[in-house]
Amino acid sequence: MKNSIVMKLALVFIVSLMLYACSSHAPLMQVASPDGKTVLTFDLAENGAPTYSVEKNGKAVLKPSALGFMEANRELMHGFKVKNVLQQSHNDTWETVWGEERYIVDNHNEMKVRLLHEDGIRMDVVFRVFDDGFAFRYEFPEGRKKMTILDEYTSYCFAEEPQVWSIPWRTEYYEGLWEKKALSQLDTVCSPITLEMADGTYAFVHEAALTNFPAENFYADKQTLHTHLTPWRNENGDMDEKAYITTPFSTPWRFVILAPTLRELVASRIMLNLNEPCKIEDTSWIHPMKFIGIWWGMHQKSMTWEAGPKHGATTKNMKKYLQFAHDHGIGGVLAEGWNLGWETWENFDFTTPYPDWDMDAISAYADELGVAIVGHNETGGNAADYENDLDKIYAYHQQHHIQNIKTGYVSPIVRTNDGLQWNKGQSGVRHYRKVIETAAKYHICIDNHEPVMPTGLQRTWPNLLTQEGVRGQEWNAWSQDGGNPCEHVTVLPFTRIMAGPVDYTPGVFNFANPIIPGTRVHATLMNQLGLFVCFYSPLQMACDLPENYMLHPDAFRFVEEVPCDWEKSILLDGRIGDFVVFARQDRNSDNWYVGGITDEESREQTVRLDFLEANRKYIATIYRDKNTADWETNPYAYEIETREVTAADTVSLRMAAGGGFAISLAATEAE
């Protein structure tokens, strides 16, 4: 059946080329997914306007949708002719340096449509169709041409109106609560978006390999989604200009995942496959790990970033944290507020500590204990000064054996070498890329806060371990709106985390904050354990204070044990905004881990263990809410059970309101 479909498509393509030879109007050109179920069609209208459309299982997903640009000197949305069409197939499997699984299959069919504009400009559109979706990008192949992009006309004209999960496009640092609306009701929103389709299937729309171009956003017109590029700014605000490019140039990929179920949606690896292979030859210095930090106390106002009587990042305090990490098998310790500049949030000095921080002594003590230091470089939005001193800063950190740095850009508009710009505009995107590449030269990994939305660059530069770009746990420490609602964490695995690893900072064990009354975590303790499995990050922070972890040492054992680098990952069950259940296999053992979280509704959950190896026994340690648990009235009520299980077994349990669970499955010797 599959071969017959491919042969039919090849025949259609040959006939189309014959028709094109005797017609001024370009023929329909098609490329299908390897399984033949998804077909993308390219067409040119009579006026030379390029469009594409998509069918899946014989049903229209996207009706003819626009392609092209508005350039400063011409409209690149009509006036084209097809020069020729190239097609090829690709099928291989590659190994990740770290990730949600070790091996990823890249199997797609490609069609490159080479276009010539009436003004003589060459523009190619490259389409790739996978079994689980499609992607395309624009290429301007001719050299030494400078172009100013004013608008991108890429659109997605849906055959039926979907419901869309999104956040507004000017949400600071992407730290917003995701909301579901009908497509026609959207204002301008950030990429990515997650769609619940009218037929009960799912889609995810985003971009991949964003390196030297503004981040995309979307706005809606009835059932059509349009692209809105993040603009450049000048002293008067936003400009018409979106991007300045010099050819040859390739835009980021625009891609859409199409999946019949949520399990298949989150399993898609289209975004990573669209990025270039790893550019770091020796990756042995890149180590996924869990870490704790001198951090939560600042957000709860029991410590300060700046020097003073409550200063958090002191030599004495850091040594205490390092010792705790060593004693409990935690890989690293973050310290914020160790360097000069915090009093004014200006002129941060990334190589000069406060007097109560002895970098040499701390570095030596960390080496002695075998615990990594996670450095912190907060720029206050002054990306320009930071970028200009990168080599000096990273050489200093390398000298002190610091191989992980958390960067920060707390300012709604960052100061780049191009002036005040949106962090996700072209200038900001260039800055973040330079930071990653420079860090790699010094064997330093990056945890980027206040970032541009991830687009899969970790495949090319795996020292980009994780990023924020989310309304994270810190909001539960001080937000006057009461913190993150229970639903929030059940939305993120299907929205923000689809774009890449997230530094959400799970693991709060003491929900009360007497310094800021009215704030609290909307979760049970077991929910916080479940986050370590449901939220993926290869650099995973357990954010609470050491003394709070010792309030519940039995529960903390799961935090000590759970890894953050995986061989396989499976969504077992879930609904967007309601609940999530993930199973993941440790990359360095045969052990599995399961985590579940729910919204404000309590749920009875049955976990089938058929993902385990057959004919093998496992010791299951089950951490779950007690029947009396409730996020608001009784968040610390939990119980721990240990029993022997096999792949034929199930585990039934109750998730409390705002609750969750965690299960470790330790493999015994194979029979």
Assign residue 614 the CATH number of its domain.
3.20.20.70
Residue 370 in any domain: the answer is no
Total Cβ atoms within 10 A of residue 574? 22
Residue 389 in any domain: the answer is no
Give the domain-ending residue among 225, 250, 273. 273
Q: Check residue 21 and give its pLDDT.
A: 36
Q: What number is the average pLDDT over the span 495-506? A: 98
Residue 394 in any domain: the answer is no
pLDDT in tens, 586-632: 999 999 999 999 999 999 999 999 999 999 999 999 999 999 999 99
Which pLDDT band, with edges at 50, 70 and 90, does 482 fall under? confident
Kindly state the tokens that stand for 617. 């026994």
Q: Check residue 27 and give its pLDDT.
A: 62
**Domain containing 116: what range?**
2-273
Q: What number is the average pLDDT over the span 652-664? A: 98
Q: What number is the average pLDDT over the span 522-541? A: 98
Lowest-confidence range among 80-84, 143-147, 455-459, 474-478?
143-147
Q: Is the model's pLDDT at 26 over the cut of 70?
A: no
Query: What is the Cα–Cα distance from 203 to 131, expressed in whole angstroms?
Result: 13
Which of 71, 387, 450, 474 is an active site residue? 474
Give the domain-ending residue among 256, 273, 290. 273
Which pLDDT band, with edges at 50, 70 and 90, does 7 fall under? very low
Q: What is the pTM of this model?
A: 0.95
Q: Is the model's pLDDT at 560 over the cut of 60?
A: yes
Query: What is the Cα–Cα distance from 238 to 421, expressed in whole angstroms?
Result: 9
Query: What is the Cα–Cα distance from 9 to 5, expressed in whole angstroms?
Result: 6
Lowest-confidence range among 11-15, 57-61, 320-324, 405-409?
11-15
Please enumerate in sequence order all residues whose Cβ is within 8 A of that of 260, keeping only pairs 6 or more positions apart, or say none.
201, 202
Identify the helix (H) or strand (E) that includes residue 668: none
**For residue 251, what is the domain's CATH number?**
2.70.98.10
Q: Check residue 23 and give its pLDDT.
A: 36
Lowest-confidence range among 7-16, 575-584, 644-653?
7-16
Q: Is the model's pLDDT at 645 over the cut of 60?
A: yes
Instruction: Please answer whether residues 643 and 651 qualify as being in contact, where contact means their C-beta atoms are separated by less than 8 angstroms.
Output: no
Q: What number is the average pLDDT over the span 140-149? A: 93
Task: Please give the C-alpha separations between residue 562 and each of 64, 390, 567, 623, 665, in angstroms, as whole numbers.
Answer: 47, 34, 13, 13, 10
Q: Average per-residue pLDDT in the chain?
A: 95
Kindly state the tokens that stand for 637. 């009520």
Work out whether strand 372-378 and strand 404-408 pair parallel, antiparallel, or are unpaired: parallel
Which pLDDT band, with edges at 50, 70 and 90, does 25 fall under? low
Residue 242 in any domain: the answer is yes
Q: Check residue 517 and give its pLDDT.
A: 86
Q: Is 139 a catalytic residue?
A: no
Residue 631 in any domain: the answer is yes
Give the domain-ending residue among 257, 273, 289. 273
Q: Is the model's pLDDT at 8 over the cut of 80?
A: no
| Residue 502 DSSP label | B
Q: Among residues 203, 210, 204, 158, which one has the least CA distance to residue 184?
A: 158
Which pLDDT band, with edges at 50, 70 and 90, does 203 fall under? very high
pLDDT in tens, 366-404: 999 999 999 999 999 999 999 999 999 999 999 999 999
Q: Is the model's pLDDT at 671 over the cut of 70?
A: no
Q: What number is the average pLDDT over the span 567-578? A: 98
Residue 265 in any domain: the answer is yes
Q: Structural domain tally of the chain?
A: 2
Q: Check residue 17 and give its pLDDT.
A: 41
Please enumerate in sequence order all residues whose Cβ is within 8 A of that of 63, keeping only pairs 6 or more positions apart, or say none.
53, 157, 158, 159
Q: Is the model's pLDDT at 2 over the cut of 80?
A: no
Q: Check residue 446 and give its pLDDT.
A: 98
Residue 628 in any domain: the answer is yes
Residue 434 in any domain: the answer is no
Q: Check residue 284 and give its pLDDT.
A: 98
